[in-house]
A = this chain, B = another copy of it.
Amino acid sequence: MKRSFVEEIHQLHAELCQALADPKRILMLYALAKGPTPVGDLAEQLGIRQSNASQHLAVLRDRGLVTAERSGTTVFYQLRYPAVLQALDLLRGVLRERLEENQGHVNRLMEIAR
């Protein structure tokens, strides 16, 4: 399939967003904000299997959002662009606004939360 340059850019833009479109990957990125972290630590922090952590990290690596550096047998992942966290924070702000406007939804969450 042929695609224009502009279309390709929008595709990549969307793929970047897609990398953020999973709760576990969001948690990973915020965790990485505190510094380079081994895969095992991330898996433990998120309460997920090691293979699953590797899979999510592979997505973030593919999209260029993190880099991996080996030290002995352990691999430290590192956040590459702090701006990604800024973007996530902006969206979190939007979410907060939305929930505040929409009382019913907040209440539903409260129900679930207790």
Interface size on A, residues (CB 8 A): 45
A64 at the interface (CB under 8 A from B): yes
- Give the number of copies in the complex: 2
Task: Evaluate contact between A86 and B90: CB separation under 8 angstroms.
Answer: yes
A21 to B: closest C-beta gap in Å: 4
A58 at the interface (CB under 8 A from B): no
Chain B residues near A90 (CB, 8 Å)? 83-84, 86-87, 90
Chain B residues near A13 (CB, 8 Å)? 23, 26, 88, 91-92, 95
Which secondary structure dominates chain A's binding surface?
A: helix
Task: Evaluate contact between B83 and A12: CB separation under 8 angstroms.
Answer: no
The chain A residues found within 8 Å of chain B, CB to CB, are 2-5, 7-18, 20-23, 25-27, 64-65, 81, 83-84, 86-88, 90-95, 97-99, 102, 109-110, 112-113
